[in-house]
Amino acid sequence: HDAGGDPLVDGLNPAQARAVTTRGPALLIVAGAGSGKTRVLTHRIAHLIREREAWPSQILAITFTNKAAAEMRERIEGLLGDASQGMWISTFHSACVRILRREAERFGYVSGFTIYDSADSRALLKRIIKELDADTYGFTPANSGAKISKLKNELVDAATHAATMNENDPRERLFVEIFRMYEQELKRANAFDFDDLIGQTVHLFRAHPDVAAVYQRRFRHILVDEYQDTNHAQYSLIRELTRPVEPEEVERLVPPARAKELDASGRIPPASLTVVGDSDQSIYAFRGADIRNIVEFERDFAGAEVVKLEQNYRSTQNILSAANAVIGNNFDRQEKHLWTSEGDGERIVGFTGYSQHDEARFVAEEIEDLHRAGLAYSDIAVFYRTNSQTRALEELFIRSAIPYRVLGGTKFYERAEVKDAMAYLTSIANPYDPIAWSRLLGAPKRGVGAMAEAHLANFQEAQGVSFHEAMLRAEEVTAIGPKIRATVRALGEMLVRASRMAVGGGATDVAGEDAKPAPVADVMKLVLDETDMIEKLRAKRDPQDDARAENLEELLAVAREFDVKQPGAGLLAFLTEVSLVAAADDLDDSSGTVSLMTMHTAKGLEFKAVFITGVEEGLLPHQMSVDEIGGISEERRLMYVGITRARERLYLTLASTRATFGDVSVAMPSRFLQEIPEGLIDWRQSPGEVTGRGGTASRALNAPRSSGGGSWSRTRTDSAVTFSGGGSGSGAVSEPASGNMQSALDKWRERKRLAKEAQASGG
Ligand code: ATP
Ligand code: MG
């Protein structure tokens, strides 16, 4: 192909074109924000396929969110026509789930394993801490969970940690005990936590070279976006996948390797690796992201080629100049110079409110102006450092009837009734999961008390069978009254029936084991019909319960949508997808709403107009970061990420007083504001003009609730009315509310206690 008339290279600048067309064992594309890294990666994949250098199935592309993955797939299909079948484009987590589901049996798990989200694992930890009385030594689910997560991201398990810890430290010994029990409980529940997904895959590859060989052989091209935010576990995964298949493993391959797959020494050569990233955008150190992965790439991957991109295609020069100025204050970085041919554009608008309500009022008014000037609401985003900041904004948006969505707020899947229904599905897929089972037993209420539950769980444990099997044999648990036994048995039968349906090959199916799993919607329908959940809610004639019933119907609709999108994929795939939805995945461009999100969530995205709110000391940089080594640098990178999301208009706003938890405190402008050259900011109200007297906007605000009463849908804006009430911590990654799971675990603990009593009394 000559340079002209090639849609994959046309319109790219020379550096970008090289990044698309160059070949070799390893390629590192380092570049600032908005320089086309993601675009180049997409074109490179399309180029590999079009040039017949790879089949789609030989490509593994890693993105930061599922949404980014879907976008990339769409773009590639747009570039090539429909040729992305069999290509793996996914997040690290999704790719690992796929591998683990296939290979789970190799290490004592069952393919239907549950994925615990952070709320689930915190709840599990809470129980363990109670059992060990570790709370009196200052252990909390949050601090022990963070420590476990950190270790897992370093690929350190409890045994390894025990071997290297300071034996003389009793606190450390106790921690190891917590860690160990946590591992055991997860295994027993046939569950993985989020960090496990990656760590266990690495572990699998290292323990089973023959399994690793299958994937090392399959993926000939591995491409990773946002490489600066990979942690050690993810890095190790990449290392494992990019090893050659040695001759002794080549021999064991099925189907056997063909001669042309092999190099001169009889190995299958390693996959070629392309990574793109920007060390100035590394903002996940608190989750173990290691900037060294990108800095040391050339050393780690021999023969690596490096391409630098400097032209920015996203933002105006004013916005870029501000971004360059801010990030220039980080000393531990490689100098980069971003420029654009687009011209200066508008100046950045600054505004200081008397209070956060005044600030929010300004934001709302400006949004209305932008909208009147022709900007779609979906082109506008409002960023903040912590989730607690949304409240003032939401109040004003509701009042001004600005449609908006909060990304990463209280999520659909965290609602009680949705969790109830999902507990059924989880148990149907994994009949060993105690948490799902415990939840479904009481939803809806059917008279199975804590005592009966305890007896059943005891029986289950003693017999070493699944919870479903235990329910089928409820007659044997004579300590429970006959009526409850019958109820439990009937429920067990329903679950078993649903399980058969879900995996395929049900009794009525002539095709036997080859039968496809039933559509998810069918399984869900069975559950909803048999439990009568929706009808029971409707019968209460309470608008709140009506909304809950609607949510269940919405869940059914989600399942139908899934069945259409992924025909034949089945329940497991559905559960996997649900448990992997990340905050940024909520985003729907066509929804016509303003997007509210933390700056962490904003990574990789772009909007015509961006508001960064709360640009104050203590918020941005966040108070927590001030005392930490490297903390301010990380906050500065976050600010850089925020600024560089804006294409045309950027607003930086702050308040001179801010009320948090009932206290009103005086807020100082962020140091980052001072780092931006004065001439770039057009202050509508500068910090100096605001004396810091109390807020003028009323605080108590009876926001009218829009119709729909909290029921959820993808596009409806009223879902955001429920405030997440978060606000503690960094707010960086919004943790799902753990309340529901908590009560399930409290129940569990109570049940264990009752069970002990029951045993003691000879029952
Ligand atoms: P980030 O660091 O934020 O992830 P990025 O480097 O991945 O940014 P992209 O998102 O790929 O950048 O590109 C930024 C914007 O510039 C996109 O809208 C993209 O379509 C556009 N763009 C990139 N390269 C070109 C080009 N050569 N011509 C026109 N537009 C381009
Ligand atoms: Mg990108």
pTM for the full predicted model: 0.78
pLDDT, mean of residues 574-581: 81
Confidence of residue 511 (pLDDT cuts 50, 70, 90): very low
Nearest CA-CA partner of 641 in 64, 140, 231, 69: 64
Q: Of 275, 313, 319, which is best to mutate to test ligand 1, by the most ligand atoms within 8 angstroms of its C-beta? A: 313
Output the pLDDT for position 410.
Answer: 53
Residue nearest to atom 4 of ligand 1 (CA): 604
426 versus 747: which is more confidently predicted? Answer: 426
Query: How many C-beta neighbours within 10 Å does residue 673 have?
Result: 24
Per-residue pLDDT band at 751 (split at 50, 70, 90): low
What is the tens place of the pLDDT at every residue in 231-250? 999 999 999 999 999 999 99
Atom of ligand 1 nearest to the CA of 11: 27
For residue 279, give the ligand nearest its CA.
Answer: 1
Separation in Å, CA 430 to CA 31, 116, 427: 44, 12, 5
Give me the pLDDT at residue 76, please.
93
| Spatial distance between the Cα atoms of 459 and 473, rounded to a whole number of angstroms | 9
Segment 451-475, tens digit of pLDDT:
899 999 999 999 999 999 999 999 9
Query: Which residue lies with its CA nearest to atom 16 of ligand 1?
Result: 313
How many other CB atoms sit within 10 Å of the CB of residue 529?
A: 12
**DSSP H or E stretch at residue 427:** helix 416-429
What whole-number distance in Å separates Cα of residue 416 and Cα of residue 402?
28
Residue nearest atom 13 of ligand 1, based on CA coordinates: 36
pLDDT in the model for residue 482: 93
Q: Dmax of the chain from CA atoms?
A: 86
Ligand nearest to the CA of 312: 1
Adjacent-strand bridge partners of 493: none
Instruction: Answer whether residue 635 shows pLDDT above 90.
Output: yes
Q: How many angstroms separate the alpha carbon of residue 678 from the centre of ligand 1?
A: 28
Mean pLDDT of the chain: 84
Spacing, Cα 3 to ligand 1 middle (Å): 20
> Which DSSP string corresponds to 475-528?
GG-TTS-HHHHHHHHHHHHHHHHHHHHHHS--TT-TTGGGPPPPPHHHHHHHHH
Burial class (CB in 10 A: 0-12, 13-18, 19+), 496: middle
Instruction: Give the ligand 1 atom nearest the CA of 39.
Output: 11
Q: What is the pLDDT of residue 4?
A: 59
Q: Which residue has the higher pLDDT, 124 or 679?
A: 679
Percentage with pLDDT > 70 across the chain: 85
Ligand with minimal distance to 280 CA: 1
Distance CA 632, CA 623 (A): 10
Residue numbers annotated as active site: 37-38, 225-226, 281, 645
Is 723 a residue whose pLDDT tops 80?
no
Pocket test for ligand 1, best of 37, 39, 43 (most atoms within 8 A of CB): 39
Direct distance between the N- and C-terminal alpha carbons of the chain, in angstroms, rounded to an integer: 81
Centroid of ligand 1 to alpha carbon of 274 (angstroms) = 17
The pLDDT confidence band at residue 287, using thresholds 50, 70 and 90, is: confident
212 or 71: which leads in pLDDT: 212
Which residue lies with its CA nearest to atom 26 of ligand 1? Answer: 12
d(CA 419, CA 423): 6
Question: Rounded to the nearest whole angstrom, what is the distance from the C-alpha of residue 276 to the centroid of ligand 2?
Answer: 8
Residues sharing a CB contact under 8 Å with residue 137, sequence separation 6 or more, in sequence order: 171, 174
**Residues 402-418: tens digit of each pLDDT:** 998 888 655 567 778 88
Residue type, 294: I
pLDDT band at residue 178 under the 50/70/90 scheme: very high
User: Kind of pairing, strands 26-31 and 304-309?
Assistant: parallel
Rounded to an integer, what distance in angstroms lies between the CA atom of residue 42 and that of residue 387? Answer: 32
Report the pLDDT value the prediction gives residue 105, as an integer from 0 to 100: 85
3 state SS of 23: coil
The residue with tokens 């800095």 is: 295
Report the nearest-CA residue for atom 31 of ligand 1: 313
Atom index in ligand 1 nearest the CA of residue 605 equals 3
Residue 180 has pLDDT above 50, yes or no: yes
Give SS3 for 568: coil
Instruction: Name the pLDDT band for 20 (thresholds 50, 70, 90).
Output: very high
The more confident residue out of 341 and 624 is 341
Lowest-pLDDT range, 553-567, 590-604, 743-757? 743-757
Give me the sign of the Cα torsion angle 598, 600, 606, 611. Answer: positive
Can you tell me which residue has the tokens 């019968």? 539
Q: How many A from CA of 41 to the centre of ligand 2?
A: 9
Helix (H, G, I), strand (E, B) or coil at 646: strand
Pick the atom of ligand 1 nearest to 281's CA: 2
- Say what the pLDDT of residue 394 is: 84
> Tokens 């809470």 label which residue?
126
Residue 757: predicted pLDDT: 62
For residue 748, what pLDDT is reported?
54
Scanning 566-695, the segments in alpha helix (DSSP H) are 570-579, 623-626, 631-643, 671-674
Distance CA 71, CA 346 (A): 29
Model confidence at 134: pLDDT above 70: yes
Query: pLDDT higher for 449 or 409?
Result: 449
Torsion angle of the four alpha carbons 427, 430, 431, 435, in this order, in degrees rounded to the nearest 10: -60
Residue 29 has pLDDT above 60, yes or no: yes
What local confidence, expressed as pLDDT, does residue 89 receive? 95
Cα 340 to ligand 1 centroid, rounded to whole Å: 12
SS3 category, 83: coil
Q: Which of 8-17, 39-48, 552-561 has the lowest mean pLDDT?
A: 552-561
Token pair 């993955």 is found at 69
Residue 321, both tokens:
């100049």
Residue 608: which pLDDT band, with cuts at 50, 70 and 90?
Answer: very high
Q: Residues, the chain, total? A: 763
Q: Give distance in angstroms: CA of 286 to centre of ligand 1.
A: 27
> Which tokens hold the place of 731?
């707010």
Phi, psi of 592 (to 5 degrees): 65, 35
| pLDDT (mean) for 65-88 | 87
Contact residues of ligand 1, CB 6 A cut-off: 11-13, 16, 31, 33-39, 278, 281, 313-314, 604, 606, 644
- Position 763 scores a pLDDT of 39
Q: What tokens appear for 574 in the block?
A: 């559905």
pLDDT of 175 > 50? The answer is yes
Ligand nearest to the CA of 39: 1
**Statement: residue 143 has pLDDT above 60:** yes
* Peptide bond before residue 25 is cis, with ω within 30 degrees of 0: no
Residue matched to tokens 């023969």 = 303
Using alpha carbons, select from 288, 406, 114 the residue that is nearest to residue 123. Answer: 114
- Is residue 508's pLDDT more than 50? no
Binding residues for ATP, by number, are 31-38
Contact between residue 587 and residue 605 where contact means Cβ atoms under 8 Å apart: yes
Cα(175)–Cα(596) distance, rounded to whole angstroms?
A: 38
Indicate if the pLDDT at residue 666 is higher than 90: no
Residue of the CA atom closest to atom 23 of ligand 1: 36
**DSSP state for residue 590 in the 8-state scheme:** G
Helix (H, G, I), strand (E, B) or coil at 443: coil
Most informative mutation of 276, 314, 320 for ligand 1 (most atoms within 8 A of CB): 314
CB-based burial of residue 508 (10 Å sphere; 0-12 exposed, 13-18 middle, 19+ buried)? exposed
- If you average pLDDT over residues 629-648, what whole number do you get? 94
Q: Is 371 helix (H, G, I), strand (E, B) or coil?
A: helix
Q: Whose CA is nearest to atom 21 of ligand 1?
A: 313
For the segment 540-569, the average pLDDT, to the nearest whole number, is 81
Between CA 622 and CA 667 the distance in angstroms is 12
List, as residue ranges, the binding site.
31-38
DSSP 8-state class, residue 224? E
Distances (CA, A) of 207 to 102, 193, 212: 16, 20, 9
Contacts of 636 (CB under 8 A, 6+ apart): 326, 327, 329, 330, 621, 672
- Name the residue with higher pLDDT: 572 or 119: 572
- DSSP-assigned letter for residue 248: H
